[in-house]
Structure 1
Amino acid sequence: MEVKIGVQYAPRELVVDSVQSPDEVERAVTEAMSGDTGVLALTDEKGRRVLVPVGKLAYVEIAEASVRAVGFGR
């Protein structure tokens, strides 16, 4: 699934392709915003961790990965 993270004062958003479910990502965002750590931590498909300070979050968009049609048979 695809997670787009808007960061304050950054011209581009972060895009993370995560193996986590939408509910897991939502739970991670909610816990980070209400917890003491102040850091949103997500893991992408390759096992890399993305850490974003909660104080700099502008938005988090959670979407299912879309399958792109390839070829002329659209």
Structure 2
Amino acid sequence: MDVTIGVQNLTREVTVETEQTAADVAAAVKKALAGGPLELTDSRGRQVIIPGSAIGYVEIGSEEQRKVGFGAV
């Protein structure tokens, strides 16, 4: 699932591809907005940490994987 994070005072968004569920990401965002950092682990095992006070918005993508190839039609 893709998670797009808008950070205050930055022109570009931060996009993280993670294997966490939408509920887990939403819980982490709520915790960060309450006063801590937003901590996510991407699909390669790297950890992304963003200060909760710098979060402008968070867009949580769907958990459904996109189909690739000719069978997707």
What TM-score, normalized by structure 1, do the two folds share? 0.83
Q: Percent identical across equivalent pairs?
A: 39
RMSD value, Cα: 1.7
The answer to whether structure 1 residue 31 and structure 2 residue 34 are counterparts is no
Q: d(CA) in 2 for partners of 1:69 and 1:49?
A: 27
Q: d(CA) in 1 for partners of 2:32 and 2:9?
A: 20
Partner letter of residue 60 of structure 2?
I
What TM-score, normalized by structure 2, do the two folds share? 0.84
CA apart distance, 1:66: 5.4
**Matching residue of 1:67:** 66
CA apart distance, 1:70: 4.7
Please point out which of 33, 37, 40 is paired with 2:38.
Answer: 40
Cα displacement string for residues 11-70 of structure 1 (whole angstroms, at most 9, x for unaligned residues): 1000000000000000011112224xx210000000000000011100000002652655
**Matching residue of 1:50:** 48
Partner letter of residue 67 of structure 1?
R
Which is further off, 60-69 or 46-55? Answer: 60-69
Equivalenced residues, count: 71
Note the residue ranges of structure 2 that are not aligned, 5 or more in a row.
none
Q: d(CA) in 2 for partners of 1:46 and 1:69?
A: 20
Q: d(CA) in 1 for partners of 2:6 and 2:67?
A: 24
